[in-house]
Amino acid sequence: MEHYHYATVSEAINELRKLGFTTDFNLEENCIVCHSDKFEPEHFEITQIYRYEGDTDPADEATVYGIESNTGLKGILVTGYGANSESMSEAMLRKLSIRH
């Protein structure tokens, strides 16, 4: 997994798009989704990750993931502080945990 630092979430997204991460993924309780395609944790890898912490407000925290699916689809998932971990499966929580 590659680690870079960009000043803002939008800068990280723009750079990922230049690297071919053009799909927008959404998070569900046990998978990530793009249109009708669903990928469970074992069907994708997080290849890049960027974490942003709000200076004064925890609600400003966000994590940007560069993701590659087992079908070759490359995309971006952005999660915020408010991501509801209570409804996510244990496998998805492990997959999205930030490894240092």
CB 16 within 8 A of CB 9: no
| Sign of the alpha-carbon dihedral angle for 30, 33, 36, 41 | negative
Going from N- to C-terminal start, the domains of the chain cover 9-84
Q: For 33-54, write each residue's pLDDT tens digit.
A: 888 889 998 999 999 988 887 6
Residue 1 has pLDDT above 60, yes or no: no
Burial (CB count <10 Å: 0-12, 13-18, 19+), residue 56: exposed
**Kind and range of the H or E run holding 14:** helix 9-18
Instruction: State the average pLDDT for the chain.
Output: 80
Q: What is the pLDDT of residues 69-92, one digit of tens each?
A: 999 999 999 987 655 555 667 777
Name the more confident of 85 and 26. 26
Helix (H) or strand (E) run with residue 54 in it: none
Share of the chain above pLDDT 70, in %: 76
Q: What is the pTM of this model?
A: 0.79
Model pLDDT, residue 100:
37
